[in-house]
Amino acid sequence: MDDTLDEEQKQIARAVLEREGRGFAEEIGLRRTNNPAGLFDLLVTAVLVAPRGETTEVARAAHEVTNRWHTAADLADADEQDVAKELGAAVEGDDRADGDDSASGDAGTLRALAVAVRDTWDGDLRRLREEAGQDPGRERALLTDLPGVDDAVADVFLREVQVLWDEVSPFADDRALRAASTLGLGESADDLARYGGGAEKVGRLAGALARIEIEGSHEEVRRAASSA
């Protein structure tokens, strides 16, 4: 950790990581690997969680989809109603949820995304990275050209993928930075990098802070830090 950090900041950072520090990808069973399946799974997960937050229900839905359709080609060839059924059942815990408008809309979005990734980069987002020249701004632009990928989705994907694509790090999305500011940990991704550990640590810390912002658990973190 940076020597200029005060003891309270260090304790809060430790408390953040102890509370939520596995990272969202790991929590739902995704192994962040720089291969076509692993990267596509991260993008599908980002599409599902960005508009809703990283809740247990959304995590379950992401896990069910990526576990069954592991590549862009798999999901592009899937029956849309079958995808909607998996999404609805994961969120509602009931197979009858396959008629839910939200699940149907998400299923259509995910299939369109899969088709675009398959047809544009042969299912391999490493080719997107290559086309962008490993420039984070260009990577974001290419990502947000895809169906269902807006800036919020790109934020979640880039936050998680920075462990694999070192040009992205340090990166933190808006949710993470709001929590960091509230907890006195800093105002930018560069501030989070001061807590050490390289890209993996920044990714874990940013992911944990985003979860804390969604939960509104800032005071619980402060209490845990003060009692450490």
Q: Residue 29 region, left (φ>0) first, then alpha (ψ -120 to 50), else beta?
A: left
Q: For residue 143, what are its two tokens?
A: 């990502």
Predicted local distance difference test score (pLDDT) of residue 8: 93
Predicted local distance difference test score (pLDDT) of residue 98: 40
Q: Spell out the domains of the chain, with CATH numbers in brackets.
A: 7-23+170-226 (no CATH), 33-161 (1.10.340.30)
Q: With bands split at pLDDT 50, 70 and 90, how would you rate the model's confidence at 219?
A: very high
Q: With bands split at pLDDT 50, 70 and 90, how would you rate the model's confidence at 118?
A: very high
For residues 75 and 67, what is the distance between their CA atoms, to the nearest angstrom?
Answer: 11
* pLDDT tens for each residue of 46-73: 999 898 877 778 878 888 899 899 899 9
Distance of alpha carbon 100 from its chain centroid, rounded? 24
Predicted local distance difference test score (pLDDT) of residue 28: 63
pLDDT of residue 217 exceeding 80 = yes
For residues 25 and 41, what is the distance between their CA atoms, to the nearest angstrom?
Answer: 9
Lowest mean pLDDT among 56-60, 109-113, 201-205: 56-60
Predicted local distance difference test score (pLDDT) of residue 63: 85
Predicted local distance difference test score (pLDDT) of residue 12: 96
Q: What is the pTM of this model?
A: 0.88
Q: Which residue has the higher pLDDT, 19 or 139?
A: 139
Predicted local distance difference test score (pLDDT) of residue 191: 95
Q: With bands split at pLDDT 50, 70 and 90, how would you rate the model's confidence at 2?
A: confident
CB under 8 Å to 155, separation ≥6 — which residues?
A: 50, 173, 174
Lowest mean pLDDT among 43-57, 70-84, 87-101: 87-101
Contacts 24+ apart (CB under 8 A), 81-85: 81/107, 83/107, 83/110, 83/111
